[in-house]
Structure formats: C-alpha cells, structure tokens
A and B are shown apart, each in its own frame.
Chain A
Amino acid sequence: MASKKMADGGLPVIARFEVRHRNYIAPDGSIKRPLPAFASDAGLLTALYRAMMLLRNFDRKAVALQRTGRLGTYAVSLGQEAVSVGVASAMREEDVLLPSYRDNGALIWRGVKLEEILLFWGGDERGNCFSGPLEDFPFCVPVGSQAPQAAGVAYAFKLRKQPRVAVCMFGDGATSKGDVYEAMNFAGVHKLPVVFVATNNQWAISVPLRLQTGCETLAQKAIAAGFIGEEVDGSDVVAIRAAAEAAIAAARDGQGPRFIEAVTYRLGDHTTSDDALRYRSADEVQARWKEEPITRLRSYLVGQKMWSKAQEEQLAAECHERVEAAVERYLATEPRRPESMFDHLYADLPEVYAAQRRELAGDGDV
C-alpha cells in the first residue's frame, strides 16, 4: 500500500500491539503444538468431554420440550460447548461467574442442576436459585449488561484482598455495547481480577460478525482497555481451558484483567424462536460441522487410547438417564403460588405492596 507509506510521512512508531492465537487440537483430532500440562490428565480431559456431551444431550431434550409446549424459548449451545465448559473448568469454586443466557455448560460444570436450568427457561424464577456456587450471577438476558457488574464484583474482591476472580461471559454481539467497553476500561485502570470471555460464534441473531465490528479480531478490543486480549480456537476445549487457566491465574495473582475471544460457531438456531436459514445457508453450517468441538476431542481421545467405544456407550446411557431424571423433576415441580411474586421484591415488603399481595392471594377485603 503505497498510500500508507506516504501517509506515514516518516513519523516514528510509538506503539505496536499484537494478538496471539491459541489452538492445540486440530479439527481432525491431530495435535498442532505441545499440549498444556493438564492435558496429560486423562481424567480431566474425559471429564471435559463428558460435560460437553451432557450439554449436547440436554440441549436436544430442552428443544424437544420447547417444541412440545413444555418449555419456553431456549438458547442452545450446539457447536460452542467447548467454550463454557472449558472456561468453567478453569475456575475455582470461590470465583464468581457472570454468565450470559447461553452459558449452560459453565453453569452445569459449576453445580447448577439441570432442572434449575429448565425451570428458568420454563418461566420460574427458582431456576436462578442455583445449587452451584451461591454468589454466581443469574442468567443475563440484556446483552453485555453483566460486564460492568463483573467489574464491580472484581472491585469488591480487590478491596477485601480476596484471592478470587470474576469471570464474565458474553457473545460477540455484546462486544459492540458500551457496557462491555466501560467495564473493560475500568478493569484495566484498576487491574481488577476479572476475565472477560467473548464467545464469538459469528452471529448475533442474524447479524454476522462483519456487520458487528470493523476489527480484525475482537481480542484486540482489550488493547484499548490496557490489557492482553487473546484469540482462542473456541472449538478446542483444551485451548479454551488453557487460555482461561492462564488468564484466571494472572488475575488471581494481581496482574489484572484478561480478555479471551473464543472463536467458534453456532451450529444451531439462535434460540428456539429463531430460524437461522433465513439469514445463512445450510452449506455454511454444514461446512462448520467439521470443526465442532465434541467430535474433535473424541478423535483426539480415541487416538490417545483415552476413550473407548464401551465408554462412549456408557456415557450415552448416563446422559440420557441424567437428563430424563432432571426433566421429570422439572415437570413435577409445583408452580409457585401467585402471590409469591411479591416474596423477594424487597427485603421487607412495604405495606402498600403487602396489600397487593393479599389481593392476589384472595385474602379478604383490601
């Protein structure tokens, strides 16, 4: 580009930045570079595999429930299971997760019950009660709004000198919002123990990445906030886990925030209310199936003799059983009494609303 040369006019370069890309396992299961230490732990790798499989089975069932009118709108993780599972697996229990609405894999890893997730999408606030770590945030629906909250959580950790890390997850669409930049900027200023993870699944409902940003990578957005952004192969769970582990360790160690762009692909519809064929071709999706994270890890595990056909069959049965049992518990959950909608409105319900509660309960004259 000759014009660029001219425009430089011999001015000195005062800063240069770079963005690294992390990937270990190729789509065919082969190894691209030496794996991180944890990958020699067959127990851990198979646990990641199991979690991704459980999530895929759970998603399939949730969609079936929605199609038969027993669940509300639901957001599947199809194709991007590695991100939320990999990230959560690098967290400690005492860390705090601030998930988006699509991060079921992370919630399940952290101990949230499958029936709680069903309750949430089934329209019952008790789904956000979470049997997992009690300080984790509920599903966040307003896109990106959890990011400034994550900075607040991390600030509290820092103020109290607690060695804990806030992990904030959102999609590529969310990175267009000021919320995310405001949060990252503040986290950079105060070197807060927070890790931001953007799951770049290429689509924000029907809007492709190229209409979301003029950036080459989302990872570089961290540079403007003063910290490291890394691009990671989001369909390689080993890479995700390694990146999250490094970022969380650095944050815990007082080195400040990190940003991870997990590049992956949403193979399914945006939610059960969406029809992705309206805005992208079946061919595009078909091509992306070659990269998806579960087959990829399985190929590696089988190649390493860490996984067998018998184990696969057993896992399928286990997943089926777990999901079916959760569905049964979900469907058997009695609805809350209507007036209970007031129960957690304020710490102490003001009398004016207590009267409305009595009205709803049909308690006498109000």
Chain B
Amino acid sequence: MSEVTLVEAVNLALARAMEDDPDVVVLGEDVGINGGVFRATVGLQARFGPERVLDTPLAELLISGLCVGMAAQGLKPVGEIQFMGFLYPCIDQLVNHASRIRNRTQGRLTCPMVLRTPHGAGIRAPEHHSESTEAMLAHIPGLRVVIPSSPERAYGLLLAAIRDPDPVVFLEPTRIYRAAKGEVDDNGEALPLDVAFVLREGRDVTLISWGAMLKETMAGADALVADGIAAEVIDLATLKPYDEATVLGSVAKTGRCVIVHEATRTGGFGAEIAALIAERALTSLLAPVARVTGYDTVIPMARLEQHMMPSVGRIVTAARKACQYS
C-alpha cells in the first residue's frame, strides 16, 4: 500500500481497468501524451497505445456520442471532459441516448460507458471551470452519478463505474484532487455503487455531503465535539441512485439533519434529500432539516468563490442550531 493523491488514485484505477479488460478505452482532449489537464491519464498512452488512449478532437458532444457508439458495441469507454463547465454539450447524449438506450431497445443494446469530469469550485480556475451541477445529472433516469471524496473511494468507485453495465457520470472533486492523500491498495477491488459511506458515527445530528465538501463537513464534525455534539457524517458517494436507507436510518437515530453541498441551493440535490426525510422520517425529526449550500448565484471567479462555498463555520452554525431545537 502506498499513499497517493485522489487524482493518482484515478490514474491507478484507469490503469488497472485497462490492464484487466482489453475493452476499456480512454478518450478525451489531451488525455494522451499530455496525460490530461489534471494528469489523471498520465502514462496510460505509453502503456496501452494511442488506439486505447485516444486524443479526440476538441468536441465534447463528440466524446459523449463516441462513448455511446463504442459502448453499444461492447467496448467500455471512459471519456474525459476537461472541466464540468464543458460537459453541457454532452447532456443531449446523456439524457437522450446513454441513459435510455437499454430502455428504448428493451435491453437489445446497452451503454456501459463512464464519463469523467472534474467537479466543483475552489481551485481559482477561470470562469466555467468550477461547476457543480450534479443535480442536473442526478435527475436523469437510467444514469448513475458518482462522486468520490477520498483517494480510496476514487479508486474503488471508478473501478466499479467502469465495470458497471450502465452509464455512469463520475465527478471528481477538483479541489481535493491533490489535497486529499490516502493509502490505496492497488488490488483491483471495487467499492459498491449506490451505497453511502458513514465516515463517522454520532448520535446527535446527521451531516450529509459528497465530494470535496466532505472536507469542511468533517472539520465541522470535529469542531462540534467541543459543544458536546456527536455528529454522524455520511458521504453519499452515489447521488443517482442514492442510498435512501442509510440516510433514513441515520436520521431516525439522530433526529436532526444538515445537508451540505457547494452547488446552488434551488433545486440542488439537498432539496431531494430534505424531501425524502420529510416524506419518510418526519416523526423522528427533532428539528427542521437544514441545508448549507452554495448561494443561488453564478459561481464567482477566484476572488469571491470561497464566499459562495459552505464554510466550516456555516456548517457548525447550522448543526448547532439544529441541536438547540426542542
């Protein structure tokens, strides 16, 4: 076992998947000799050749459409979109084809593809590079939406995504690409999709988040200890379909819930979780469900972006408020 960054874990998983399965093909802009703009694909072309690690023309719709065609032929394409702000041309292929070709053809054709892209703000990138529009994707039937929050989960979940027989959008938290380090055993073992990870157990309040924002969420849980509050922290990891049972089980135990995401509030995925809890766990609630989210504004450029993203302070305040109820 060795200590790697999250982006290195992505690289390890890609290499492992390509080694294990000759049908795995990596494609995208600059993924070849350059190893991708974040170096997620570094070394793969030298190892697996330019036919399986393919530099595409600069055309995002094409990348997603190629993936659909390749996948329908039984390849396992892993497309890379350089930044989530450039994923939007792929939405047509994701909504209208990738996610529903199995359904449209009643299983005659399938789409075992993965589309990877960096996710979220906080890296002082130019405009359009800091998107967190996961809720848009999680709304699409037939798709899987996965966001790892550590090198270990990036490795295991990406392997699972590549092996999954259905299309997966794999959102990689840009802010912790290199900041998150951890032990990863490159043993080819996948982690389960559709399952939330309980990162920390607690009885007083449930904190739910995903991706890079778990860093602040965990720090918030640490800070709450001083108040005598034991927070349970859940990494949702797969947003579509998401692990309702773990969410409901935790809220039944704690009676309080704070959902943390950096995406804008209105129609964000936190709203979905809050609605689930209102429908199915209202009687166990001791306080209103709270959301700590990005504000309903365009993600500001570098100088202001940290003010949009939830801070440890906002998380702690929301959790304290929940705990002061009743």
Contacts and interface: CB of A to CB of B under 8 A. Distances in A.
Interface of A: 96, 98, 125-126, 128-130, 134-135, 137-138, 141-142, 145, 147-157, 159, 166, 178-179, 182-183, 185-186, 189, 341, 343-347, 350-353
B67 to A, nearest CB: 6
B65 A151 contact: yes
B70 A155 contact: yes
Contact of B105 (A130, A150, A189): A130
B285 to A, nearest CB: 21
Given A129-B108, A149-B68, A347-B102, 4 more contacts: A129-B106, A179-B65, A185-B59, A352-B241
Given A182-B62, A345-B142, A153 B108 contact: no
Contacts of A157: 73
Contacts, number: 136
Contacts of A148: 61-62, 64-66, 68-69, 93
A134 B69 contact: no
A345 B103 contact: yes
What 8 pairs between A and B have smallest CB-CB spacing?
A152-B69, A148-B65, A156-B73, A149-B69, A182-B62, A152-B66, A347-B165, A350-B241
Given A129-B108, A155-B70, A189 B57 contact: yes
A142 B96 contact: yes
B281 to A, nearest CB: 15
B106 A156 contact: no
B7 to A, nearest CB: 26
| Interface-central residue, B51, B52, B65, B75, by most chain A CB under 10 Å | B65
Contacts of A347: 102, 110, 164-166
B70 A152 contact: yes
14 contacts: A128-B108, A130-B108, A142-B92, A145-B97, A148-B65, A148-B68, A149-B93, A152-B67, A155-B69, A156-B75, A179-B65, A182-B62, A183-B65, A352-B242
Contacts of B223: none
B57 A186 contact: yes
B144 to A, nearest CB: 8
A159 B25 contact: yes
Interface in B66-105: 66-75, 77, 89, 92-93, 96-97, 101-105
A313 to B, nearest CB: 38
Given A128-B105, A142-B92, A183 B70 contact: no
A186 B72 contact: no
A96 B72 CA distance: 11
Contacts of B241: 350, 352-353
A350 B72 CA distance: 22
Interface in B105-144: 105-110, 141-142
A119 B65 CA distance: 26
A157 B51 CA distance: 12
A134 B105 CA distance: 10
B160 to A, nearest CB: 13
Given A130-B108, A179-B65, A137 B57 contact: no
B186 interface: no
Interface of B: 25, 51-52, 56-57, 59, 61-62, 64-75, 77, 89, 92-93, 96-97, 101-110, 141-142, 164-166, 194, 241-242, 244-245
Contact of A186 (B56, B73, B77): B56
A349 to B, nearest CB: 9
Given A159-B52, A186-B56, A147 B105 contact: no
A145 B62 contact: no
B92 A145 contact: yes
Contact of A153 (B73, B89, B101): B73
Contacts of A343: 106-107
Nearest to A157: B73
Contacts of A352: 241-242, 244
B66 A155 contact: yes
A157 to B, nearest CB: 7
Nearest to A340: B106
A225 to B, nearest CB: 10
A182 B57 contact: yes
B166 A346 contact: yes
Contacts of B141: 345
B61 A156 contact: no
A126 B107 CA distance: 10
A155 B71 CA distance: 11
Nearest to A152: B69
Contacts of A351: 245
Contacts of A345: 102-103, 141-142
B68 A134 contact: no
Given A182-B57, A182-B59, A344 B106 contact: yes
Contacts of B25: 159
Contacts of B52: 159
A338 to B, nearest CB: 14
A180 to B, nearest CB: 10
A150 B69 CA distance: 6
Contact of B106 (A126, A151, A166): A126
B108 A156 contact: no
A328 B142 CA distance: 33
Contacts of A149: 65-66, 68-69, 72, 93, 97
A156 B70 contact: yes
Contact of A178 (B61, B106, B110): B61
A366 to B, nearest CB: 11
B69 A151 contact: yes
Given A145-B92, A145-B93, A155-B66, A129 B59 contact: no
A344 to B, nearest CB: 5
Nearest to B240: A350
B102 A344 contact: yes
A135 B109 contact: yes
B109 A152 contact: no
B157 to A, nearest CB: 15
Nearest to B89: A178
